[in-house]
Structure 1
Amino acid sequence: MAPLCFLLLVASITLYTSHATTPMCGCMSQASALTDFYHSSNPEGWTHSDGWGSTNCSIPWYGVACDGVSIISIGLPSNNITGTLPSSWSSLVNMSQLSLSDNPKLSGALPPEWSSMTQLTTLFIYHTNVSGTLPSSWSNMSSLLDVLLYLNPLLSGSLPPEWSSMSKLWRMQIYATNVSGTLPSTWSDMTSMVDLELYSNPRLSGSLPSGWASMSKLSSLYIFGTNVSGTLPSSWSNMSSLGDLLLLSNPLLSGTLPPEWSSMSQLSRLQIYATSVSGTLPSTWSNMTSMTNLQLYSNPMLSGTLPSEWSSMAKLSTLYIFATNVSGTLPSSWSNMTSMGDLQLFSTPLIGTLPPQWQSMSMVWRIFIFETSISGALPSSWRSMSNLGDLLLFSNPLLSGTLPPEWSNMSQLSRLRIYGSNVSGTLPSSWGNMASMANLQLHSNPMLSGTLPSEWSKMSKLNTLYINGTNVSGTLPSLWSNMSSMMDLQLHLNPMLSGSFPAEWSGMFQVQTSLRPTCRELCLPRGAI
């Protein structure tokens, strides 16, 4: 964030958290406007009302600042104020800061008359019950720097095009309201804007204005949970300072992902999911080298392949491209994404193999690659993913090979699901070293064979184990009685499993256990339950 904007943010926080209180001497001629508001807003219910109504100018009024000539600031956040916003405050023409936020009983309309407050720099009226429209006359407030009007569910009407005259405005947040209409193209004149948040306004419609490209200082832009439509403007590539862009949950947003946005070199978070965007993933986005969080999921019309060029996004830690129509293979070059922590590529028609080279993603803690057409073997080299805690590879019917014994090095792994696949071989006894394992599901793998490893008894945190629908054989290990955390054990549909039921398991019968008659010669010892 630019130094000036940081100072403004500090000033805004100060306005909210402090309650500037000064003697009223020199300002008593303006006190009547405040007194009328006080008496009409259930003063007995105010949390703080020290000094209000006093005729002694040496006694400060809580939250009111006087510079000896005029009232310049009123800060009454979270003060349990009831009533409406007084139009009479229009006489406070030297006011610079006004905060009435977090007063949910405050109601009525935003007074158009306040347009006379031309010196106002900070206006906070959020989390209230105010209603009506945004006054177009407020365009006269040309000194405004910071406007927060969010969490006002009864606020309606459109976003005034006239507010484009607020050329000094650096932050505006009008979200979680009932405002409607389109995004004003005239706001392109707000060239000082750094933070613009208009999300969770389901009645906002129209397109994303291409002219907003002139907001070259914009750092954060949130327009999600709306009814906006049309395409993503390629001209926004001029927003070279943009670091955070959220356009998710706009189901009518369409068109392609603009290759030109590659010039957004400062962009670190981009979320465009649950939309109707189509086309391919631009390879040029490889220039977005500041990217850390990229979410493009639940875009069923998104197609093409995963660009190998994106390997240059070395800072990327979160990547979600699931529930799309993206196909092709997993790029081995993505091994350069050494900051990757959360990678989700499921429910897509991906093919090819799991790249052994991805072992270099040593920081990754979650990988979801399920419901794909991935084939080949499970890479033993992934043993280097020592921080991996959550690995889901289920419903990949072409996945084959054996369960790598080397994965026993994954000491942080707590959830592993590899079911509905074509993996074969035996259950690795070395996996008993997976001391963090809590949920292990290997069911519906008919080519899995061998015995149930007694060494797995060391998985003391294991609470869910599914090894049903396989070809495992042998007996039930008596040592598994040490699995003291077990809650759900499924071993049915294993026709080669034999032997008797271990008496040592008697202490495990607070768990849900499924063995069923498909196993041979399994019986409960007398008194086991």
Structure 2
Amino acid sequence: MTTTSLIIFLLILTLSLSSLPIPSLSQLCNPQDKQALLQIKNQLGNPTQLASWDPSTDCCNTTWQGVSCDGYRETYRINILSLSNLNLPKLCPIPPSIGNLPFLEILDIRNIPNLVGPIPLAITNLTKLNYLYISHTNISSSIPEFMSRIQTLVTIDFSYNKLSGELPGSLSLLPNLDGISFNDNFLSGPIPESYGSFSNLFTSITLKRNQLSGNIPATLAKLNLSFVDLSSNRY
């Protein structure tokens, strides 16, 4: 093959290869996870802070605000979702499509004044969830008993909301729970006796500034607590 022919051959080969689809990071983004995220964005009224959630891009790259994928295990499933400081255009409930992110380990929802309504049952689909933070919102209703279905929970923070009703006794069934922060709500009634049977991992309880009443269970003294704040209630 002459030098000219070789150059022409290489040029044609280069052009041919350039026309082939190149594997991109978008292939790392699980399509079900992407669909769930876009549904969440829509259910929140498409706030401008989530403009980076562009369906034409990869939900596993760093441009998607508040989204992280598990690249360490190479599953590339969404394992962290942080929805913070969103200016929702209208009052919205917690998006039920959050329950369609089954690999979530951390869910952080905070500083969203227009977030209202109860904690949705769909959250029990998050069977890998370790850390749940929902704070500084206007969600209301009671803390549901079904929270005890998420057996992987380590920390629950529902502070600075408008939650009311009694504390769910079933939280003591969570084997890995190390702390709860339910301060600055409108919770009422007594602290459940069952809270004295939290596992040895349980070290922190914050219930200040609610409307709790009744006797503080003596069984709490059996726990290995490093931090307790039950102040500003109606004991």
List alignment gaps of at least 5 residues for structure 1.
Answer: 1-24, 31-67, 74-92, 97-106, 128-143, 147-166, 327-529
Paired position in structure 2 for 1:188: 99
Radius of gyration: which is bigger? 1
Looking at structure 1, the residues matched to 128 and 119 of structure 2 have their Cα atoms a distance apart, in angstroms, of 18
In the alignment, residue 208 of structure 2 is paired with which amino acid? Answer: Y
Find the counterpart in structure 2 of residue 287 from structure 1: 197
3-state secondary structure, aligned to 2:189: coil
Residue pair 1:262, 1:285 contacting (<8 A) in 2 also: yes
RMSD (Å), alpha carbons: 3.1
Name the counterpart of 1:325.
Answer: 234
Aligned to 1:333: none
How far off is 1:265 after superposition? 2.1
Q: Cα gap change, 1:213/1:281 in structure 2, threshold over 3 Å: closer, same or farther?
A: same
Look up the match of 1:110: 51
Change (3 A) 1:186 1:126: closer
**Is the contact between residue 195 and residue 220 of structure 2 (CA under 8 Å) also seen in structure 1?**
yes
- Give the 3 Å change call, closer, same or farther, for CA 312–189 of structure 1 in structure 2: farther
Q: 2:213 and 2:125 mapped to 1: Cα distance? A: 31
Spell out the pairing of 1:60-209 with structure 2 (5 A cutoff).
Answer: 70=22, 72=24, 93-94=26-27, 110=51, 114-117=54-57, 120-126=59-65, 145=69, 168-179=77-88, 180-209=91-120
User: 1:260 aligns to what?
Assistant: 170
For the structure 1 residues 308 and 298, does the alpha-carbon distance in structure 2 shift closer, same or farther, using more than 3 Å as the test?
same
Deviation at 1:190, TM superposition (A): 2.4
CA distance in 2 between counterparts of 1:295 and 1:263 reads 18
Q: Which amino acid aligns with 2:203?
A: T
1:261 shift after superposition: 1.1
Q: How does 1:330-369 map to 2 (within 5 A)?
A: none
- Structure with the higher strand share, 1 or 2: 2
> 8 Å contact 2:52–2:64 — kept in the other structure?
no
Change (3 A) 1:263 1:298: same
- What corresponds to 1:226 in structure 2? 137
3-state SS of 1:178 partner: coil
The aligned amino acid for 2:51 is L
Distance 1:260 1:95, change over 3 A: closer
TM-score w.r.t. structure 1 length?
0.33
Q: Which has the higher contact order (CA 8 A, sep 6+)?
A: 2
- Tell me the SS of whatever aligns to 2:110: coil
> Which letter does structure 2 place at the counterpart of 1:280?
P
1:303 correspondence with 2:190? no
State the TM-score, normalizing by the size of structure 2: 0.71
The DSSP-based 3-state class of the residue aligned with 1:235 is: helix
Matched pairs, number:
194
**In structure 2, what residue type is equivalent to 1:246?**
D
Deviation at 1:111, TM superposition (A): 6.3
Q: Supply the distance in 1 between the matched residues of 2:111 and 2:119 (Cα, whole angstroms).
A: 15
Q: Name which of 233, 246, 252 aligns with 2:157.
A: 246
Amino acid of the structure 2 residue aligned with 1:292: T
Question: Identity rate of aligned residues, in percent?
Answer: 21
2:69 counterpart letter in structure 1: L
Task: Determine if contact 1:267/1:291 at 8 Å carries over to the other structure.
Answer: yes
2:183 aligned partner: 273
How far the C-alpha of 1:29 sits from its partner, in A, is: 6.1
- What aligned pairs does 1:454-473 form with structure 2 within 5 A after superposition? none
